[in-house]
Structure 1
Amino acid sequence: MDHLNPTQREALSQLQAITAGSDAEVTLSVLESVDWDVQKAAELIFDGPPPQSSNAPVSPEGTEHTRTIMEELAIDDSQQGIDPNTSIWNSLLSFFSLPFHVLSNTIRFLFGILRISIPSLHFTGLHNYRSVRTGPSDHRSVTDRWVRSLEEETGALSVSSRTPSGISASGAEAGPSSIISRTGYASDELFEEGRKVLPDFFLGSYEDVLNVCQREGRVACIVLVSEEHDDVPEFKRSTLTDPALVKALHDGNFVIWGGDVRDRDAWSAAQKLQATTYPFVAFIALQPRRNHSHTPTPSQSVASPTLTVLSRHQGRSVPDTAPTSAATLLNHLSQQLLPRVTPFLERFKASIRERERDRMLREEQDRAFQDSARRDRERIEARIAAEKAEKERLEREREQAKKEEERAALEREKQAKKDEDRMEWRRWMRRDVVRAEPQSQDQGRGKKGGLRLAIRLPQNERAIRYFTREDTLTQLYAYVDTMLIPPTCSPSGDPKQPPGVATGSVQVLEEHVSRQLEGVDAWWGFKLALAYPRQEIRWEAGKKLCDVDGLGDGGQLVVELVHNSRKVSVPSSTVGNNGNGDDGYDTESDEE
């Protein structure tokens, strides 16, 4: 024991005094297991370990918060109305009955091991270390069971609120008794009909009641009873069913909670509220935090309130002047408690409503901001999408224009190459295909003479040319084609071979023209026709001029360019002797 500090030694002495000098080693081990908490150690010795709740486990954070609430309960007992003689008598009785209680617990423990049934031994004075009743472990069920037994014992019905009162800390719903809701009677109707009614007890734990007081700014009325006290039955019949008191509690929106100290939660509440006899009634509410250094302002008080035990009433309920009578409690509520706590609670509720309005306003502003941001985002996204679509359209147009330009350039290149090859064919034909014009002695008319042809070019100029009767249409077309050679192309530079051919001849030319896919007229680029009567002279390979209808004795020909063919300006100097426009035929005007 030498290693213990003074505080630990004092705790050990207190526990040994309570347990009537039990073994020091056992007592020491129990204290060490509960971190030297004398009250917890006594609970562990006399009541055994607490049963495990079937409900969802309470988070450590929530448990710590509730414990803090309990430890911060201030006590304001300026007006309690306790009978001093009763308090002294109960204290003496508790002291003298302590050894008997320890002995009875030891005997019951041994008989329990041996599985021997014995009657329960109760000692009225030692309420602090009473055996806890077995039954449902969740607080809602325990409280509901107590309320039902109270209704059965008094023949009264509980006043039921229309809405739930709150949610328990463990997550299970906590609220008023639902007996009235099943009968279909409202509270006002019950009061008017003079029925016996009970207060609207909160179904939940003692900690839940304190949470409701803190959250909603309501006054709690805690009712604790013990069936071992003779004053409890009369208290239930007279005080708890008094219509005036019940209506005052109902109209004042009190949070009413009660229980039998044989139940663990009610017993724990009795320890925290320092109940010494029963029946016991306490009123708890938020009050400004006490600060002796200066007087707090109303805003500071509302901002940091603390739960306070406003008053405690315990003992007999008869006569009307007794501490727990309905008349005493009503007078205390109307004359002392409510006038003292109502102003602060109203300010607290107003601050709650203001915070709620601020919260709703912030939520509305947040929603408006989010809606505005969403609309702005949609507009920005739409603009970005439109810009992207326009950019893609312009890009497609540029790509299309580029492709068109490339295609046009390729077409121009192909056409230029084609025109170049075509000019090479013309110049080669001027060199090797177009024969020299017959001599003058061969130019006479007749079957043996040459053919005199007057050719009108597209530039409205005429050329006169003599052909032999053995010349072919290929040579005629070749001659007309050579008329389209620009003057800048000198005959001295004419090629000896046509492009792409090793050896050139009239036959090679005719084969080349016949193979053209675009057609004969498209390759030559023009058509020949008799001037009058108009008769088209189509090109045929190897056909002689004398075999062409209309050309047996010569005639006048017109050159008609094919559509999209290249027009070449032919100077008059290239036409020949009669380039002045005279066709060489005699007319009546000439003879005159």
Structure 2
Amino acid sequence: MSSSGLDISQLSENEQSALGTYTAVTGQEPSEAIPLLRRSQWNVQIAISKFFDGEGPDPVEEARAALNNPPPPRPARQAQNLMRDDLNAHFSPAPRVDPAPRVETQPENQVVYRPSFIVALLFTPFNLLYRLVWGGFRIFGALFPFLPRFFNSTASNALQGARRNTNGRRALGPQDTAARFIREFEEEYESNSIGFLENGYNMALEKAHRDMKFLLVVLLAPEHDDTSDWVRDTLLSQEVTEFVNDPQNDVLVWGGNVQDSEAYQVSNSLRCTKFPFAAVIVHTPGVSSTAMSVVSRISGTTSPTEFVEKLRTAISQNREPLERIRSTRAEQQASRSLREEQDSAYERSLAIDRERARQRREAEAARQREEQEAAERAVAEEKRIHDLGLWKQWRAQNIAEEPSADLKDAVRISIRLPSGERVIRRFAPDTEIEELYAFVECYDLMTELQEKTTLVEKPKGIEHHYGFRLVSPMPRTVYDVEAGGLIREKVGRGGNLLVEPIDDDSDEEEV
């Protein structure tokens, strides 16, 4: 990465995990997230707080900048128009923008402690006494309004926490608290046309920052006398609801009851001094690159026209920076989508190339395998022909001579060879059927062997199998060599035989 100076793969496992968590929450680019995480010592919570609340100046970096870039020397004489500066400062004051704080809320999975019945019964008198004292203090505070604000600014966090937790309302998580507020609001005013967000304040800030929208925070105090009238006459008026619900205004609304812990912390953080209270929060890039700032506060009872006018003014003053950020994000998203499409197309192209290469390798392997098998078959056929020739030379020498015409019991057999040639030969009656098969097998060598006087020994390691069968056509009778027997017993005194080659198809038909 150009900005971080370190590739993501060079980060440690913990740093990569922190980077993934941070980018998932903030949606910030890794090139911008890594420097912020480094400045936060890779603490995800601190980095997220800096992202949403803004990051204060770094004293070390400021000191380095001061050493590297010393300030220019001030002129000896500086002329100022004090009247003009005073008038400009008076008539065009710079709008005050305060950062929108985040609050510490109760975790969703926190278990609420409930005392046993006996303990609750023992502390019931103290609880009643405390409620009486606290009720009297609230009446006294209503008579003298400055006292609660005085105690709020001077009391310790423990006392404020005690005040928040003793209003009789059950402490819930942020989302459940928001759901309870919406339910009570609908029951009280029989309407929810304003569209409150059903999540916690921090999540509402994150949603407004992520979607580049304005967050309208509405804080209600049910004990205040003007709350009910203000909600019915102003907040739920047609003019306000139409403005807030208009998609072009980009307004999100979050509401809270100050009797709840979260809303009470929000009221203190936003410096709420008068109820009913509303504040407009928006991302302000001019103030900080990541901060959400309060750009408008609406305190006390206001008419619908005045309320809408204040909202419109706050939105119009901060819309242009948001539009620039939206356009920048749209360009970044378009670039990211384009890169993802290019990466996806590249991955698909690689997958196609890999598949083609695999198919080529498989085809080449199949071709080589076929060639090897063909070569093996050729070698085997060569060996078979060679072994058959040796065996036929040996066997032809051992075939008995044809008996003379004087032998009356000789068996006369007519054999039709596969070539169409017919051979007639006489065999002794005690000749084995295998002798007849050997005569047919070695018939082509019988003439040649009669001229040779050299004897051939029986070849070793050769197991011969006849590749034909002798068949009598009518009626069809197969004289199997494996069945054995004498020619006289099988064929009789004479007969006509056919030589049928044996192959796989003929074997299947026989079966």
Q: Structure 1 length as normaliser, TM-score? A: 0.44
1:279 maps to 2:313: no
Root-mean-square deviation over aligned CA pairs: 4.2
1:146 maps to 2:181: yes
Higher helix share: 2
- Which of 286, 291, 294 is residue 309 of structure 1 equivalent to? 294
Task: Indicate the structure (1 or 2) with the bigger Cα radius of gyration.
Answer: 1
- Displacement of 1:394 in angstroms is 1.5
- Which of 375, 386, 396 is residue 409 of structure 1 equivalent to? 386
- Displacement of 1:311 in angstroms is 1.8
Contact 2:214 2:315 in 1 (8 A): no
Q: Return the letter of the residue paired with 2:164.
A: S
Q: Deviations over 1:374-399 (max 9, x none)?
A: 33333222222222222222121111
- Aligned residue for 1:566, secondary structure, equals helix
Structure 1 residues 230 and 514 mapped into 2: Cα distance closer, same or farther (>3 Å)?
closer
Identical aligned residues as a percent? 23
- Which of 502, 505, 518 is residue 435 of structure 2 equivalent to? 518
Match in the other structure for 1:259? 256
Q: Deviations over 1:434-481 (max 9, x none)?
A: xxxxxxxxxxxxxxxxxxxxxxxxxxxxxxxxxxxxxx879xxxxxxx
- Displacement of 1:223 in angstroms is 1.2
- Displacement of 1:136 in angstroms is 5.8
Q: How does 1:25-424 map to 2 (within 5 A)?
A: 67-68=49-50, 71-72=53-54, 78=95, 114-116=126-128, 118-119=131-132, 120-121=134-135, 122=138, 123-124=141-142, 125=145, 126=148, 128=152, 129=160, 130-132=163-165, 133=167, 134-135=169-170, 137-155=172-190, 157-159=191-193, 199-251=194-246, 252-290=249-287, 304-314=289-299, 316-317=300-301, 324-334=302-312, 336-417=313-394
1:566 maps to 2:447: yes
Structure 1 residues 68 and 135 mapped into 2: Cα distance closer, same or farther (>3 Å)?
farther
Match in the other structure for 1:89? none
Aligned partners of 1:281, 1:422: CA distance in 2, in Å? Answer: 122
What are the ranges of 5 or more consecutive residues in structure 1 without an aligned counterpart? 1-59, 81-109, 160-198, 292-303, 318-323, 427-471, 475-509, 526-561, 571-592
- Displacement of 1:422 in angstroms is 7.0
- Aligned residue for 1:288, secondary structure, equals coil
User: How many pairs were matched up?
Assistant: 304
Contact 1:221 1:283 in 2 (8 A): yes
Contact 2:240 2:308 in 1 (8 A): yes
Q: Return the letter of the residue paired with 2:251.
A: F
- Aligned residue for 1:281, secondary structure, equals strand
Match in the other structure for 1:505? none
Aligned partners of 2:439, 2:320: CA distance in 1, in Å? Answer: 113
Contact 2:171 2:260 in 1 (8 A): no
Q: Structure 2 length as normaliser, TM-score? A: 0.50
Aligned partners of 1:154, 1:516: CA distance in 2, in Å? Answer: 115
Q: Deviations over 1:341-365 (max 9, x none)?
A: 1111122222333333344434433
Q: Deviations over 1:484-510 (max 9, x none)?
A: xxxxxxxxxxxxxxxxxxxxxxxxxx9
Aligned partners of 2:433, 2:252: CA distance in 1, in Å? Answer: 111
Q: Return the letter of the residue paired with 2:192.
A: S
Contact 1:69 1:307 in 2 (8 A): no
Structure 1 residues 326 and 520 mapped into 2: Cα distance closer, same or farther (>3 Å)?
closer
Q: Deviations over 1:392-432 (max 9, x none)?
A: 2212111111111111222233344457x579x99xxxxxx
- Displacement of 1:231 in angstroms is 3.7
